[in-house]
């Protein structure tokens, strides 16, 4: 089953456009998951498993950021493997890797994401053009989310530069979906005007939206700016707001319902 088929089923089954980021930071590990033993990754796994257990009926996808696992070395890779194994098979996984390279290196990255980690989708950089995307697009059914307008404060240093009278990110939004039918876009929730501009030139493209909650993005604005006319086409990511909450499930339900209220 392709990423987009799994996504559509999860959206329908869980009535959700919510994605939860699984980004375990040791310094943020809640006290209730600290065992007191000298095994940090076991505690981080306990945290991830609790989030998955409490939210899997409320999300359309999960998005682990590989950087937080790589930073822990070999133990972190095992943590990622065990985390992915705990995600129900019917929930697709977006591996947030933001890879960007060409040729055999890009092919190796694609193999790692899709064969080693068995992710359903991945985030990629557009900076090297189509040469970075093609090795990933060679995997049928895998989702590809290309960075378009990101949520960080300095995103505009390059992404909003004018090219032929339009911001660079608009050119990315218009061009990247032509590279493969599996291409989606990443647009930060903190820039609703950019999200609106992207939707105007990419009316049928799925958009992954990080940045609600801790980064300041507003759910209602995101939905108004980015929802497709059929009421879908958005994946709205929440990470710290859910994973650091005292009740992961209740918080995820609240965010999901806020999204659905805005959809209506």
Q: Are 25 and 227 in contact (CB under 8 A)?
A: no
Q: Are 139 and 114 in contact (CB under 8 A)?
A: yes
Average pLDDT, the chain: 95
pLDDT at 214: 57
Q: Is the pLDDT of residue 252 over 90?
A: yes
Gap between the Cα atoms of 132 and 104, Å rounded? 10
Question: Is 142 an active-site residue?
Answer: no
Q: Which of 213-222, 229-238, 240-249 has the lowest mean pLDDT?
A: 213-222
Gap between the Cα atoms of 184 and 209, Å rounded? 11
Q: Classify domain 3-263 at the CATH topology level.
A: TIM Barrel (3.20.20)
Q: Is the pLDDT of residue 209 over 90?
A: yes
Catalytic residue among 6, 63, 98, 111: 98
Query: Strands across the sheet with 18-22, in order?
Result: 61-64, 18-22, 234-238, 207-209, 183-187, 143-149, 121-124, 94-99
Q: Is the pLDDT of residue 37 over 90?
A: no
pLDDT at 211: 82
Q: What is the DSSP secondary structure assignment for residue 37, as one 8-state letter?
A: S
């Amino acid at each position: 089953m392709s990423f987009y088929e799994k996504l559509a089923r999860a959206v329908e089954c869980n009535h959700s456009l919510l994605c939860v980021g699984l980004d375990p930071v040791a310094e943020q590990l809640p006290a209730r998951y600290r065992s007191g033993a000298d095994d940090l990754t076991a505690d981080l796994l306990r945290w991830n498993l609790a989030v998955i257990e409490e939210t899997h009926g409320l999300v359309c996808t999960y998005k682990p950021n590989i950087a937080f696992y790589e930073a822990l070395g070999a133990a972190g890779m095992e943590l990622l493997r065990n985390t992915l194994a705990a995600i129900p098979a019917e929930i697709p996984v977006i591996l947030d890797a933001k890879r960007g390279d060409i040729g055999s290196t890009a092919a190796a990255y694609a193999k790692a994401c899709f064969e080693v980690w068995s992710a359903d989708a991945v985030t990629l950089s557009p900076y090297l053009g189509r040469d970075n995307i093609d090795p990933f697009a060679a995997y049928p059914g895998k989702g590809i989310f290309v960075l378009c307008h990101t949520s960080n404060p300095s995103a505009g240093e390059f992404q909003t530069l004018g090219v032929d009278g339009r911001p660079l990110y608009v050119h990315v939004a218009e061009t990247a979906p032509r590279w493969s039918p599996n291409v989606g876009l990443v647009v930060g929730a903190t820039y609703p005007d950019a999200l609106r501009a992207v939707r105007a030139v990419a009316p049928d493209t799925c958009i992954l939206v990080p940045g609600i909650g801790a980064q300041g993005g507003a759910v209602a604005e995101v939905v108004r700016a980015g929802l497709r006319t059929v009421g879908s086409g958005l994946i709205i990511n929440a990470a710290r707001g859910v994973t650091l909450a005292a009740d992961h499930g209740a918080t995820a339900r609240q965010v999901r319902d806020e999204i659905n209220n805005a959809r209506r």
